[in-house]
Homo-oligomer: A and B are copies of this chain.
Amino acid sequence: MTAPSESSTSSGTPGNADAAAWAVINTIKVLAMDAVEKSQSGHPGTPMALAPAAYVLWSKFLRHDPTAPTWADRDRFILSCGHASMLLYPLLHLTGYGVSLDDIKNFRQWGSNTPGHPERGHTPGVEVTTGPLGQGVGNAVGMAMAERFLAARFNRPEFDIVDHRVWAFVSDGDLMEGIASEAASLAGHLRLGKLCLLYDDNRITIDGSTDLSFSEDVQKRFTAYGWKVLRVSSGNDLKAMQRAYAAARRESDRPTLIILRTEIGDPAPTKKGTSGAHGAPLGAAEVKATKAILGWPEEPFHVPAEAADHMAKLGRRAGREHKAWRKVFAAYAKAYPTEAVEFEQWMAGELPSGWDAGLPTFAGEKGLATRQAGQVVLDAVAKALPNLLGGSADLAHSNGTVIKEGGDYTAETPGRNVHWGIREHAMAAACNGMAAHGGVRPFAATFLIFADYLKPSFRLSALMHLPVVYVGTHDSIGVGEDGPTHQPIEQLAMLRALPNARVFRPADATETTECWKLALERTDGPSMLALTRQKLPVLDRAKYAPAAGVRKGGYVLKDASGAARVILLATGSEVHIALAAAEQLEQQGIPTRVVSLPSWEIFAAQPKAYRDEVLPPSVTARVSIEAAATFGWERWVGSAGTTIGLDHFGASAPAEKLYQEFGLTAGRVVDAARGLLQGGTR
């Protein structure tokens, strides 16, 4: 542990040498105050406190090009404390990212590109959407992992075409969240030397002093994780911050935490250092008084020419590094043309043409759990997509997510099998970071029940339009003996209700191939593959419809012998129960159609004509069966239909026994269908 400096300069009083620096810093402070004041909403205090730290980073360390926000080898900057968005927007404005002063005036307004929290894809220069605390720490870890993976793959002697760092600003709240602990422990384990977190140690949370709830020794805790920890004792000591960043940049073997003691809202005379500066406008009087302290005109949104010029110049200068890199890359492309093409293809997120040619087909096999089929598919996919990497939260073999010959992702060698440890939440957030970084296709696996543990990050995959592939195995009471703590019930509904997520629940090995394929073809959001623990028959596609129907989300797997009087709808393992029930109903003279519905989202997005073809409105006797909460199934079975599922928790017993006891049987489906035909009501 090195303490670069314990000295501090007094607040807001620049020396002559860095007048331009303080002009910029104070511009950020003022814009933050003014924007929050104008919108009467937002968080002024943290941008004010972190303005100096951000200035030093952005002016002297951050490798970026405001004219090319997606430059592959840029440093990544993450504002994990996303509520401090008014720190980032002024920086983007001043350095030339195309955020205008009007945008800043429209902070938090409809249609503006300066939303309350930074949103990826919404504002150039915003790497990830932050706000839910702790997520940025996980994202940062994933980005640093992606960097190392790509560097190992593409760098060649004299060509370090991948060589950038990840900088993240984090708050007390970030560090209190469990996800940050998971991510930090993993980062220490992997010795991610290019990762640096700056911790805004302001000793204030919304409810008051951190003394209310937070008295741990953060420095010792991060040292325990294997991090290098530096301290800077004043948020206004530019030189000390510069030394700390420089030390972080010199470090190659450990991630670095810089603990920066700040005063929230500095220099607001009555509110600085209090929770009153955190999440509400300072108020006109306080803003006025603060501007007086800063020697600023009262006029809102004033940006002195000195600050604008200085940062614009820095922005332009930053572009030079990009130019230099482009030269190096051009030389690289000559020396290593194949690698260069591949690098660009990876960074563009494109699948190589014909990538799916080698995907497995399944036929005639004996029973195969869809998780086992998933492993077979992954074996093929991993060969076709060398930038696919990921792993499981300590359940790799159970999940069927081992990339054979992919090597382990360790501190020494960034292979393709990541051992996330029992850290589902950080796993998902790191996958978001990897996907947001670009160049790699990440996947994350665990038991489906533990989707609960990673839900906040899964939501952010969807919100950020990141094509992370999630594998959730042991997807029902088919788990059996492990009992109700491990048996998903409401998880499918939880994930299906989320916008822009796709949930796949394939009925057999063949559908599993199609689902994996659809998940990988996605470019704009996450997919969850819900796979069985238990073996399932591999459907003979000569007898049933081709699994290509999966591409429409739902399809007639087995049609009725005549005009269907009953439609059975099912997903995953319960499709086989539906098929058995249909056979019995047919034997009883009731023409019955079976629809497999592996992805509700894709099916719902089909034209009405197709949906009506699969589920003709005239056939109202419909029974759904799924070993999960029936919640939501009314969408497909309609008022006249019946849902069979589990609106209670599971139990510990062999799977077959549970299916019997809980009435997930062909007999019950038959009875329900007959009941509907006989005019029974639900």
Contacts from A to B (Cβ < 8 Å): 39, 41-42, 82-83, 108-112, 115-117, 119, 129-134, 172-173, 176-182, 185-186, 188-189, 205-207, 212-221, 223-226, 392, 394-398, 408, 419-426, 449-450, 452-453, 455-456, 459-460, 462-463, 480-486, 489-490, 493-494, 496-500, 620, 629, 631-632, 634-635, 638-640, 646-649, 651-654, 657-658, 661
CB of A495 to closest CB in B, whole Å:
9
For the complex, what is the distance from the CA of A482 to the CA of B108, rounded to whole Å?
7
**16 A–B contacts, CB within 8 A, in A order:** A111-B653, A116-B652, A119-B485, A132-B449, A176-B185, A177-B453, A178-B181, A207-B397, A214-B421, A217-B224, A217-B225, A221-B225, A453-B456, A493-B497, A496-B631, A497-B632
CB of A465 to closest CB in B, whole Å:
10
A216 with B224: CB separation less than 8 A: yes
With known contacts A220-B220, A394-B207, A499–B649 Cβ distance under 8 A: yes
CB of A66 to closest CB in B, whole Å:
23
B116 with A486: CB separation less than 8 A: yes
Residues of B within 8 A of A500 (CB): 648-649
**Number of copies of this protein chain within its complex:** 2
B634 with A395: CB separation less than 8 A: no
A205 with B116: CB separation less than 8 A: no
B176 with A189: CB separation less than 8 A: no
Task: Out of B116, B486, B489, name the residue touching A482 (CB < 8 Å).
Answer: B116
Residues of B within 8 A of A620 (CB): 639
A119, A182, A632, most chain B CB atoms within 10 A: A632
B177 with A182: CB separation less than 8 A: yes
Assuming A452-B459, A499-B647, what are 12 further A-B pairs, CB within 8 angstroms?
A83-B482, A108-B652, A109-B652, A129-B484, A173-B394, A173-B422, A181-B182, A212-B408, A212-B421, A490-B499, A493-B632, A497-B632
Residues of B within 8 A of A481 (CB): 39, 41-42, 108, 116
CB of A211 to closest CB in B, whole Å:
9
- In the complex, the chain B residue whose C-beta lies closest to that of A223 is B220
Residues of B within 8 A of A483 (CB): 108, 115-117, 119, 131
A652 with B494: CB separation less than 8 A: no
CB of A281 to closest CB in B, whole Å:
11
For the complex, what is the distance from the CA of A149 to the CA of B144, rounded to whole Å?
45
B205 with A421: CB separation less than 8 A: yes
For the complex, what is the distance from the CA of A631 to the CA of B604, rounded to whole Å?
12
Residues of B within 8 A of A212 (CB): 408, 419, 421
With known contacts A189-B213, A421-B213, A115–B651 Cβ distance under 8 A: yes
- In the complex, the chain B residue whose C-beta lies closest to that of A402 is B207
CB of A107 to closest CB in B, whole Å:
8
Residues of B within 8 A of A207 (CB): 392, 394-397, 419
For the complex, what is the distance from the CA of A109 to the CA of B480, rounded to whole Å?
9
A173, A214, A218, A486, most chain B CB atoms within 10 A: A214
A490 with B486: CB separation less than 8 A: no
Task: Out of B215, B395, B496, B632, name the residue touching A188 (CB < 8 Å).
Answer: B215
For the complex, what is the distance from the CA of A219 to the CA of B482, rounded to whole Å?
31
For the complex, what is the distance from the CA of A226 to the CA of B211, rounded to whole Å?
14
Task: Out of B133, B455, B631, name the residue touching A493 (CB < 8 Å).
Answer: B631
